[in-house]
Structure 1
Amino acid sequence: MRRFAPRRPGDVAEMIREDVLGLVTTHDAQGFITTPLPLLAELDEAGEVRALIGHFARANPHLARAEATPRAQVSFFGPHGYISPSMVSKPDWGPTWNYRLAQFEVDIELQPGAEDAAIRALAEALEGDRWTVERMGARYAGLVEQVVAFRAVVTASSARFKLGQDESDTSFAEIVAALGDGPLARAMRSQRG
């Protein structure tokens, strides 16, 4: 196993559940365009991400460009942060940056007519039973008309979780203690072997 590879098969899917906002980037004759979008992972039987579900606003110029050039890269950047030498008791220790990153090469398939299902799935994933789209009343129908659903089929993926796996037990414990109980410290603990 590569040193900074996720430890378990479901770690990337869990990251997407936690860090829902992905950066969708396409490239065409006009150059690159990136849109941050909340996305849900569709998993295969092994728990690997096989597609990402989301929606573009009809007013977003990226929609027409993604329709014309559907090949894209989607990146999720999880908790990250500077790790200062002041966190570690080793005098020769140098600074670093810890992070979680997952990237997917995808083919975007626009799915007109699936907007209601895409929005409801996203609301349920983020809200659970605290809130449903019905609470919007008549305004919801107008919202659905302003977006186009898509399914981004994964053709390749990579993940790098650089979270202190190469640190000694003492240095790792000092870094986690200095970070407190925030998202980066929790991510680090989840990847410690």
Structure 2
Amino acid sequence: MTDPLFARYGNEDVRRLIAQYPLSWVMAPGAPVETATLLPMLGLYGEDGRLTGLLGHMSRRRTLHTLLCESPTAHFLFTGPQAYVSPQHSGRRNWGPTWNYAALRVEAQVRFDEALTEIAVRRLVDACEAGRDKPWQPAELGGRYDAMLGAIIGFEAQVTAIDATFKLAQDEDDAVLRELVEAHPDETMRSWIRALNRDRLD
């Protein structure tokens, strides 16, 4: 069971995790573990910022595709930032080492739709190519692009449940928390610790 301290998060934390760590394990409940598939996902959000769905695509040949056509419930497992935390980073030799991390577990109902295939591909490419001087476009594949589209299928997953763990130093006292924000060598981890403890560090 997740410590209540690590289950306190906001819509913006979920959005950031999916945006920065979009690769998700996708699995059908009760299916053999070898059918689990890694897929990059895009989050879909309501007006209030809450995660309402996921957009993606997968190969039609995957066993997971067949399983989800038969029973549309799927689990999506996202792993966010993670890092070892040494007593050296806390400033106390009598402090026990730990591992900080963030993880998001989503249950959703999957709906495959050929009309979503190109939409899902283009949106994913746009998200991944954003900020480049010359963003790549799928049309640059030429005729191979149409062949690729025929081998995959887009889907939207409507979120039915979310369970997340953001274990990012919320249980530490103020002195250790500030030391971790200053001393941990992983800049990404420091930024996530700051974000999940923003009320104590402002």
Question: Structure 1: where are the runs of 5+ without partners?
Answer: none
Using the size of structure 2 for normalisation, the TM-score is 0.87
Question: Structure 2: where are the runs of 5+ without partners?
Answer: none
1:177 partner SS: helix
* Percent identical residues: 31
Q: Deviations over 1:24-76 (max 9, x none)?
A: 11134x53431110000110111111110101112222111121122111111
State whether residues 42 and 56 of structure 2, in contact with CA within 8 Å, keep that contact through their aligned partners in structure 1.
Answer: yes
2:103 partner SS: strand
The size of the alignment, in residue pairs, is 191
1:172 — aligned with what?
177
Q: Does 1:114 align with 2:119?
A: no
Q: Does 1:74 align with 2:79?
A: no
C-alpha deviation, 1:181, in angstroms: 4.7
Matched residue type, 2:97:
P
Matched residue type, 2:196:
Q
2: CA distance, partners of 1:65 / 1:162? 33
| Structure 1 moving runs of 4+ over 6 Å | none
Alignment of 1:34-183 (within 5 A): 34-128=36-130, 130-183=135-188
1:170 partner SS: helix
Sort the Cα spacing of 1:52 and 1:11 in 2 relative to 1 into closer, same or farther, 3 A: same
1:66 partner SS: helix
What is the alpha-carbon root mean square deviation over aligned residues? 1.8
1:186 — aligned with what?
191
Using the size of structure 1 for normalisation, the TM-score is 0.90
2:122 partner SS: helix
2: CA distance, partners of 1:49 / 1:88? 34
1: CA distance, partners of 2:188 / 2:146? 36
1: CA distance, partners of 2:94 / 2:166? 24
Matched residue type, 2:179:
E
State whether residues 24 and 35 of structure 1, in contact with CA within 8 Å, keep that contact through their aligned partners in structure 2.
Answer: yes
Which structure shows the higher helix fraction?
A: 2
1: CA distance, partners of 2:145 / 2:188? 33
2: CA distance, partners of 1:7 / 1:186? 15
